[in-house]
C-alpha cells in the first residue's frame, strides 16, 4: 500500500505518515483517502493539496479544546499574534501601503482592539471562504499564499515591503482574493494597487482580483489604466511599471492623507479611539 501511495501521489515516506494522520483525523482508512484523492484530483498537484491541509489540521490539534468554534477563534487569534510578532521595525505590509497610515500605530497602542477583530463573523466567514477557494486553486495547479518581499529605499531609508499573494501561476498571473459582504465597484482602487504591487514583485504578466462576496462573484483583470486612476484618486503620480516609484508615491499619499480613502474610517476597527476618525455615530 505504501508503495502505491508513493507512486500515485509522489509522496515521501514522511508524507505518507502525514497522510495516515489526515486519514485518522477524518475517520477514514488511508486506502479510502488515497482512492478519493486519486479519483477526484489530478495526480500532479495532489500533494500540494494534501500537505497544507495536513499542516492546518496539525495546528488545530495543538489547540486544547473540544469546542469547534473555540478552536477556530483561538487559531485565528494565534495567527494574528504571530503575524504581528514577526514584524521587523522597518517592515511595511503591502496591505498597509494601500490603507491609512495610523492603523499600525493604533494596533500597537490598542492590541485588544486588534484581537477583538478576530471575533467578527464577517471576518471569520471570509477566512473560511479563503481557505476553501485556495484549496480549489491548489487542486488546479496554482501556487497559493505565496510570501513576497522586496526592499526599497524611501527617504534615504531602507523599507522592507512584505506580503502574501493569494493565488499565483508563476510568470503568468497573480490573483488577489477578496471576500466580504459585497463590492460596489470592481476592481476597487485599493485592491488594484495591492494586486499590482504583487504583480511587480512577482513579475507576472497579469494581475486579477477575484471577488467572492455575499452579493457578487466575479474575476476582474487589473490594467495600468486602473492603477493610474487609483493614483489620481490619491492625488499622486508614479511610473506604474516601477515598484520603487509606486511604493514612494503611496508613501507620499499616506503622509498627506488621513484616512487614505474617504470610506476607510467606517470599516476601521480603531474608529472608536482614533482622534482622526470620520466614521459616523
Q: Which residues bind to ligand SF4, rule: CB under 6 A?
A: 100, 102-103, 106, 258-259, 264-265, 268, 270-271, 274, 276-277
Residues 6+ apart with CB under 8 A from 240: 196, 224, 227, 228, 231, 246
> Which of 122, 219 has the CB closer to ligand SF4?
122
Q: Can you tell me whether residue 91 is helix, strand or coil?
A: strand
Answer whether 148's CB lies under 8 Å from 166's CB.
Answer: no
- Compute the least distance from the CB of residue 154 to ligand SF4, in Å: 20
Of the two residues 106 and 118, which places its CB atom closer to ligand SF4 in the complex?
Answer: 106
Smallest distance from ligand SF4 to CB 186, Å: 22
CB of 276 to ligand SF4, least distance (A): 4
Instruction: Decide whether 37 or 92 has the Cβ nearer to ligand SF4.
Output: 92
Shortest CB 102 distance to ligand SF4, Å: 4
Match 516601477 to its residue by C-alpha cell.
Answer: 242
Long-range contacts of 139-145 (CB under 8 A, 24+ apart): 139/41, 139/42, 139/45, 139/49, 140/45, 141/42, 141/44, 141/45, 141/48, 141/169, 142/167, 142/168, 142/169, 142/175, 143/167, 143/168, 143/169, 143/170, 144/52, 144/168
* Residue 130, C-beta contacts closer than 8 angstroms, at least 6 positions apart: 166, 177, 179
Least spacing, CB of residue 279 vs ligand SF4, in Å: 6
Q: How far is the CB of 103 from ligand SF4 (least distance, A)?
A: 5
CB-nearer residue toward ligand SF4: 211 or 270: 270
Q: Which is nearer to ligand SF4, 7 or 273 (CB)?
A: 273
Between 189 and 277, whose beta carbon lies closer to ligand SF4? 277
Amino acid at each position: 500500500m505504501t508503495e502505491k501511495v508513493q507512486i500515485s501521489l509522489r509522496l515521501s515516506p514522511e508524507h505518507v505518515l502525514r497522510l495516515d494522520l489526515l486519514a485518522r483525523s477524518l475517520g477514514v482508512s488511508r486506502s479510502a483517502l488515497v482512492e478519493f484523492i486519486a479519483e477526484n484530483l489530478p495526480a500532479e498537484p495532489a500533494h500540494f493539496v494534501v500537505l497544507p491541509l495536513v499542516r492546518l489540521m496539525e495546528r488545530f490539534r495543538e489547540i486544547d479544546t473540544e469546542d469547534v468554534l473555540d478552536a477556530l477563534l483561538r487559531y485565528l487569534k494565534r495567527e494574528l499574534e504571530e503575524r504581528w510578532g514577526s514584524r521587523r521595525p522597518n517592515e511595511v505590509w503591502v496591505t498597509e501601503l494601500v490603507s491609512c497610515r495610523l492603523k499600525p500605530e493604533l494596533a500597537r497602542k490598542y492590541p485588544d482592539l486588534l484581537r477583538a477583530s478576530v471575533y467578527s463573523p464577517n471576518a471569520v466567514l471570509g477566512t473560511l471562504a479563503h481557505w476553501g477557494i485556495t484549496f480549489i486553486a491548489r487542486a488546479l495547479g496554482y501556487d497559493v499564499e505565496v510570501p513576497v518581499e522586496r526592499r526599497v529605499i524611501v527617504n534615504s531609508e531602507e523599507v522592507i515591503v512584505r506580503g502574501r499573494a493569494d493565488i499565483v501561476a508563476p510568470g503568468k498571473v497573480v490573483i488577489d482574493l477578496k471576500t466580504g459582504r459585497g463590492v460596489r465597484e470592481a476592481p476597487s482602487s485599493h485592491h488594484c494597487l495591492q494586486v499590482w504591487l504583487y504583480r511587480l514583485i512577482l513579475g507576472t504578466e497579469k494581475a486579477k482580483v477575484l471577488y467572492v462576496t455575499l452579493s457578487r462573484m466575479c474575476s476582474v483583470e487589473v490594467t495600468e489604466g486602473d492603477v493610474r486612476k487609483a493614483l489620481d484618486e490619491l492625488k499622486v503620480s508614479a511610473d506604474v511599471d516601477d515598484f520603487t516609484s509606486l511604493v514612494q508615491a503611496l508613501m507620499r499619499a499616506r503622509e498627506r492623507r488621513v484616512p487614505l480613502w474617504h470610506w476607510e474610517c467606517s470599516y476601521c476597527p480603531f474608529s472608536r479611539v482614533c482622534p482622526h476618525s470620520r466614521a459616523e455615530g
